[in-house]
Structure 1
Amino acid sequence: MKEKEMKSNKPQHIRENNLEYIEFLLKKYTKLSQKELAQLSGLSIVTIKKILETLLENGSVQESDNRSITGGRSARLYEYNPRHKLLLVVQLTETEEQMRGFYSICDMQGKSIYEEVASENALSWVGISTRIRELIDRYEAIAAIAFGVPGVEVQGKLKVIDFPSLLNFELEKNLIKQFDLPIVIENDVNAALLGYSSSFHNRESIAVGLYYPMNFPPGAAIVINGQILNGKNGLAGEVKSLPLEAKWQNYPRIPIDIEKNIREVIQTIISMYDPDRIILYTNPEMVSSNQLKQIEEELRVIYPYIDLPVIKISTFFTEDYMKGLIVRGLETIEDADRFIGNDEK
């Protein structure tokens, strides 16, 4: 029985669709013979052989050390090679009340094969770019860079960022200039919410992430049908600029009623986006589960006519942030492959 019907397309796209589909089957089933690939795809053995030749040549597929035994005969097995291309992730974040940097190299299945914590004195552009070059030279299969920042690029410059050394820096332009690789730059909260949402097979139509770090103003992210809402200038989610009582420009020197601010921000979000789920990234020192229950009770008084969105506290911001960068980075590699494939036709 065929796995699924091959999607119809224009003649010039058929070969590319077939290549992608055989890769998909090998990712799903781990190891398959030519005969099994033909049965699952509905393609002829001759076509399968030609496709495998191409995939073996570009390194995305490899022969397995194991062989299939059927009817006394052994058949070659083929498997997806997740390390034929690698992703370099650079993650800048606040951890334990300090700004930190993390490097991770992942295969095409999102599995980390190398991780490193950057020292504080290596978080300037010179330090970061030097380390990126060293890692690219060591891992020649790196095919893209995903760069996460606690800020926003506006008109090509980092205008809103918690790393003073990178303020007003043209990050994307310099990354492309120095490394000549596909680049994706993502805001930390956007990436975290995308990473969280990727864990759900049935993604909620609208999910919102709120991030309240210890010593910096909060941020928010909105994901609609699996897509990040950035806005015209990338400022969607800059909740610190809402016309509320909190004056974040003086924080933490002047204390802020965090519980009140969270309730006001959530109220604003519900009125504007009516989300299915809100993830509140913080820690028990900022807001407790009991305080969240109180916030929900107050919101039920304000919105007695609706079911409130699911509101959950999460302490896994850094983990979701990294996961989201990996998702964006792998998408960037796949998009680049499609662009090259279409350009060659």
Structure 2
Amino acid sequence: MNIHLYLLNSLDNDGVLNYNITYYNTFNNYYQNSIEVILIQPFIHNTIHVKQINTEVIKKTLKSLTSATKANLAQATGLSIATCGTILNELLTTGEVLEHEQEDSHGGRPAKKFMYNAHFSYIACIYIKAEETRHSLTYTVANSIGEYIESGHEEVSSVNATIIDHLIERLIHTYGNIKAIGIGIPGVAHQGMIQICDASELIGVPLEYQLNEKYGIDIIIENDMNLTAYGFYQKQQYDQDKTIAVVTFIKGSFPGAGLMIDGHIHKGNTRFAGEISFLPFGITREEQYAQLHQPSTFIPLAAKMLISLIATINPEKIALTGDQIHSEQVKDLYNACLEYIPIEHMAELHMLKEPDQDYMHGLVSMTLESLDYALQLVEKRR
């Protein structure tokens, strides 16, 4: 398993921090690529931002290691031992870092070891399902390194803002150190407002704003397919950035897709990307819905959706999920796509085995990332 460590080198005149990223593996082989780290928020040339970034580097490094001494951290991050010591002292004061047992010494005072406090803060993640005959909320509380603390599932008569709020209120009451809430929805939220959703009572609700105002913590609302694609993509452990799609066909709903393009979730200008049911099929939405729910017309229409994705984003894989599609239909879909797509450009098609696990994995990962200091890693073009 590769560990990604970020090394602070310098600050240039454009407010760009130049890092080196080093990949260590279990055989101690490594290679280095120069990348840029760009602050998403406006950058002012002062030591506060540099210190925040250095602190984030220390925290990420400790999370990836069981424990480390100051010297270990200095070697891994490229920061000085003095800088590591100052940051560690501050993190010890807040409780975000803990002292571990001291390292054995071959003479002299043993070196102190430090470990990240995984229980310093928690996140709560909830995903919503609104299917033809059932509605539900599935939730997980996770610690700072993504370990699940509690998980549960609730069947409800309908999904609305009040029901979601009651669940969040209960989780925050149980776990007082929840710092962020992630919510997955079968629809689209733009600027905190839910615009399209299979749970009709949420349409037009400024859910992100309402929850943020009440609880004063970070609220993330994201499309279910984006999260499933993100979780599925992470589990592939690609060595290089890839393009993949996850497409779902659920009874009682229109299909949708989550897109990962060159290693990044593709949401589009208004987060509408992946709403493949709005493609121009030359039929009304009512006719489209009827054809998707008829065995004789499902394959031709579903194939058109996949063909559009393949021709547009050229994915390596398309993972299929939902109760409308079965494993024996994958070959028929593949052959239908080959009538239009040259085989050398054809994506692999296969059924997603554990879509709910991928969904929650993506939601937990994205919610944890919301707590990190705002950095964007961009590979340098040479």
Query: 1:122: how far off?
Result: 7.5
Match of 1:216 in 2: 253
Match of 1:227 in 2: 264
> Against the structure 1 CA distance between its residues 97 and 166, is the aligned structure 2 distance closer, same or farther, given a 3 Å change threshold?
same
1:246·1:261 contact (CA, 8 Å) conserved in 2?
A: no
In structure 2, C-alpha distance between the alignment counterparts of 1:86 and 1:38, rounded to whole Å: 28
1:282·1:315 contact (CA, 8 Å) conserved in 2?
A: no
> Against the structure 1 CA distance between its residues 37 and 135, is the aligned structure 2 distance closer, same or farther, given a 3 Å change threshold?
same
Match of 2:91 in 1: 55
Question: What is the identity, as a one-letter code, of the residue corresponding to 2:265?
Answer: I
In structure 2, C-alpha distance between the alignment counterparts of 1:4 and 1:181, rounded to whole Å: 27
**Alignment partner of 1:279: what SS?**
strand
**Alignment partner of 2:136: what SS?**
strand
Question: What is the identity, as a one-letter code, of the residue corresponding to 1:182?
Answer: D
1:266 aligns with 2:306: yes
**Alignment partner of 2:112: what SS?**
strand
**Alignment partner of 2:364: what SS?**
helix
Q: Taking structure 2 as the reference length, what is the TM-score of the superposition?
A: 0.78
1:304 aligns with 2:339: no
> Against the structure 1 CA distance between its residues 102 and 235, is the aligned structure 2 distance closer, same or farther, given a 3 Å change threshold?
same
1:138 aligns with 2:178: no
Query: 1:308: how far off?
Result: 0.9
- Superposed CA offset, 1:263-286 (max 9, x none): 111111122222222111134xx3
Question: What is the identity, as a one-letter code, of the residue corresponding to 1:8?
Answer: S
Match of 1:124 among 149, 157, 160: 160
Query: 1:226: how far off?
Result: 2.7
Q: Which has the higher helix share?
A: 1
Count, aligned residues: 332
Query: 1:45: how far off?
Result: 3.7
> Against the structure 1 CA distance between its residues 298 and 96, is the aligned structure 2 distance closer, same or farther, given a 3 Å change threshold?
closer
- Listed as ranges, the gaps of 5+ residues in structure 2 are 12-44, 376-382
- Superposed CA offset, 1:27-51 (max 9, x none): 2221112333344445444333212
In structure 2, C-alpha distance between the alignment counterparts of 1:99 and 1:291, rounded to whole Å: 27
Task: Identify the range of structure 1 (38-47 vs 246-255) with the bigger mean alpha-carbon deviation.
Answer: 246-255
Match of 2:279 in 1: 242
2:134·2:155 contact (CA, 8 Å) conserved in 1?
A: no
Match of 1:8 in 2: 10
- Superposed CA offset, 1:92-134 (max 9, x none): 0257952210121111211111112224158332222122122
2:180·2:367 contact (CA, 8 Å) conserved in 1?
A: yes
> Against the structure 1 CA distance between its residues 164 and 11, is the aligned structure 2 distance closer, same or farther, given a 3 Å change threshold?
closer
In structure 2, C-alpha distance between the alignment counterparts of 1:216 and 1:143, rounded to whole Å: 33
- Superposed CA offset, 1:222-257 (max 9, x none): 221232222233222112222326765474799332
- Superposed CA offset, 1:111-163 (max 9, x none): 11111222415833222212212222322211111111111125653232111
In structure 1, C-alpha distance between the alignment counterparts of 2:270 and 2:75, rounded to whole Å: 49
Match of 2:24 in 1: none
Task: Identify the range of structure 1 (166-175 vs 120-129) with the bigger mean alpha-carbon deviation.
Answer: 120-129
Match of 2:359 in 1: 321
1:89·1:104 contact (CA, 8 Å) conserved in 2?
A: yes
Match of 1:35 in 2: 71
In structure 1, C-alpha distance between the alignment counterparts of 2:291 and 2:276, rounded to whole Å: 19
**Alignment partner of 1:8: what SS?**
strand
Match of 1:86 in 2: 122
1:281 aligns with 2:321: yes
Please report the RMSD computed on the Cα atoms of aligned residues, expressed in angstroms: 2.7
In structure 1, C-alpha distance between the alignment counterparts of 2:331 and 2:154, rounded to whole Å: 38
Match of 2:213 among 172, 177, 198: 177
Task: Identify the range of structure 1 (267-276 vs 43-52) with the bigger mean alpha-carbon deviation.
Answer: 43-52
Match of 2:194 in 1: 158
**Alignment partner of 1:110: what SS?**
coil
Q: Taking structure 1 as the reference length, what is the TM-score of the superposition?
A: 0.86
In structure 1, C-alpha distance between the alignment counterparts of 2:99 and 2:233, rounded to whole Å: 34
Query: 1:328: how far off?
Result: 1.4
Question: What is the identity, as a one-letter code, of the residue corresponding to 1:312?
Answer: H
Match of 2:183 in 1: 147
2:6·2:77 contact (CA, 8 Å) conserved in 1?
A: yes
1:192 aligns with 2:228: yes
1:204·1:276 contact (CA, 8 Å) conserved in 2?
A: no
> Against the structure 1 CA distance between its residues 303 and 20, is the aligned structure 2 distance closer, same or farther, given a 3 Å change threshold?
same
In structure 1, C-alpha distance between the alignment counterparts of 2:76 and 2:274, rounded to whole Å: 45
The percent of aligned pairs where both chains have the same amino acid is 26
In structure 2, C-alpha distance between the alignment counterparts of 1:254 and 1:44, rounded to whole Å: 61
1:104·1:115 contact (CA, 8 Å) conserved in 2?
A: yes
Match of 2:136 among 100, 103, 109: 100
- Superposed CA offset, 1:307-342 (max 9, x none): 311222114221111111112111111146x7xxxx
2:292·2:302 contact (CA, 8 Å) conserved in 1?
A: no
1:192·1:322 contact (CA, 8 Å) conserved in 2?
A: yes
